[in-house]
Amino acid sequence: MRRDHRPYWMHALWERFENAWAEDFLAPHFDALGGNAKIVRPWNVEVFGPNVRAGRSLHVVSRRDQPVSFTVWSPADAPGAITIGDACFFAGGVRILAAGSIEIGDACLFAKSVTVTDSDWHGLYDRVDPRPAWKPVKIGNNVWIGDGALIGKGVTIGDNAVIGARAVVVRDVAANTVVAGNPAKPVKDLDPDGPFRTRLDLMADAEGLEAFMDAAYREELKRNSTLGWLRMKLFPRRGD
């Protein structure tokens, strides 16, 4: 399918359905969730365990084959936590797994199938311990993590850093540094003075952005019809 064949009313109804589903069935699983969250296919997002908190303008894009999970697994007398700042984006397949503490700053970008974990979850000799050892993970502001990267236990990543696709990060990453490889190593330094534009800038006027996107969808879909959408679904043609 080369383009969206839905009429505007169908798009708007679907948006309302997703938003209502997220508010009623997903948001209650967060200990805190800021305003203006946008969760695409929220039924494919799992929040498991206590102390999962996210700031305003959380954006998650999931799919049936690429669920997103925020998981805290720890004993009740020593609960772990996941803390997510404002205006963060999570693509499909992302897993955030905390036995102790994972802190994520503002305006971070997580590409498809990223894993962040503060524990190995099993010891080399004792592989059934219900209290796995952990070391805190701290991710700064405006960090961009590429497809399939792994952020391991005890790692701190500084502001504005970029983690290359498939990188395996087992050591700290300095601010304003690009790393890549397995194990990840520095490949480029960024100018600390930037200037950087981040998702905080994008979401500074969340209502204005929502109105802009709605107008864009109205313009893009205005020539579509319900009958045209049904025809495409039932009798697709080359070029659809």
Which positions are catalytic?
122
Spatial contact of 134 and 114, defined as CB atoms under 8 Å apart: no
Round to whole Å and give the CA distance between 59 and 90: 6
- Pairing mode, if any, of strands 137-139 and 156-157? parallel
* Neighbour-count burial for 77-93, b at 16+ CB within 10 Å, e otherwise: eeebbbbbbbbbbbbbb
Round to whole Å and give the CA distance between 237 and 240: 6
Spatial contact of 137 and 101, defined as CB atoms under 8 Å apart: yes
DSSP, residue by residue, 36-59: S-EEESGGGEEEESS-EEE-TT-E
